[in-house]
């Protein structure tokens, strides 16, 4: 039995490149491009999920010693369940993915298009506390364009799930590459993590910047041009 436990711990350690689960969480590491989901993630309907979350959150509040007969707290479990499913984690459900229509680039605009300062709110998948930031998205048309608001909606869709910033950056970029059929995509995210500022190291001043530069954006001159545009 002891041997089995040791082998299991070794297997887990190798899977996490030598890091423990606690270290992965505190160091904000992630395991892949795809958001980790169970195969039967959508076996329950949204209403069934809300009902179950409300029940479980009631237990959490009870364990914490909160008085659930108080007028202010009675509705909290249902409010939390609704918030999780319909709002802050709605991006987990593919049914909520933005519908995107492509249009011909009739203006023949062949320079980079930049949508900057897209405000988003996400949640750290390690501690379930907010990530608050701005995303800057750019692309060069390969003959097709999309509506500007769709860029914002794509950012919001991937942000509304438990996230790690590096994954969020890459997911947005890969989605845009697939939709626009081009490698010429750039994504920069500058965000503040409350799991860093409100707990652990408690650093209130730092922010995290991640970037993706694909195709024509992956050369120093184009990166400089993009940075100059963002600094206007």
Active site residues: 124-127, 165, 193, 195
From 134, 132, 140, select the one nearest 112 (Cα to Cα). 140
Query: Which residues are within 8 A (CB) of 34 and not within 5 positions of it... i.e. 6 or more apart?
Result: none
The length of the chain is: 232
Of 105, 186, 89, nearest in space to 146 by CA: 105
Neighbour-count burial of 180, counting CB atoms closer than 10 A to its CB (0-12 exposed, 13-18 middle, 19+ buried):
buried
* Token representation of residue 104: 């011909």
Q: Report helix angle 148-159 to 165-180, nearest 10.
A: 140
Torsion angles phi and psi, residue 145, rounded to 5: -135, 165
Q: How far apart are CA 157 and CA 65, in angstroms?
A: 35
Which DSSP letter does residue 95 get?
Answer: G
Q: Which residues does residue 203 pair with via DSSP β-bridges, in sequence order? A: none
């Amino acid at each position: 039995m002891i041997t089995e436990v040791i082998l299991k711990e070794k297997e887990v350690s190798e899977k996490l490149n030598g890091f423990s689960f606690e270290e992965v969480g505190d160091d904000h590491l992630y395991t892949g491009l795809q958001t980790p989901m169970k195969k039967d993630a959508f076996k329950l309907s949204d209403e069934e999920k809300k009902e179950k979350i409300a029940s479980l959150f009631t237990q959490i509040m009870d364990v914490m010693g909160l008085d659930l007969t108080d007028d202010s707290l009675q509705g909290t479990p249902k409010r939390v369940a609704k918030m999780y499913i319909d709002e802050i984690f709605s991006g987990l459900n593919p049914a909520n993915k933005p519908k995107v229509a492509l249009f011909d680039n009739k203006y023949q605009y062949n320079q980079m298009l930049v949508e900057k300062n897209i405000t988003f709110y996400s949640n750290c998948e390690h501690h379930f506390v907010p990530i608050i930031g701005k995303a800057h998205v750019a692309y060069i048309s390969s003959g097709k364009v999309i509506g500007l608001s769709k860029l914002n909606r794509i950012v919001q869709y991937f942000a509304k799930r438990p996230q790690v910033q590096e994954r969020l950056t890459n997911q947005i970029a890969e989605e845009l590459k697939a939709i626009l059929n081009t490698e010429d995509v750039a994504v920069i995210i500058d965000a503040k993590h409350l799991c860093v500022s409100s707990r652990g190291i408690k650093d209130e001043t730092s922010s995290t910047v991640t970037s993706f530069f694909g195709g024509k954006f992956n050369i120093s001159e184009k990166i400089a041009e993009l940075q100059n545009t963002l600094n206007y």
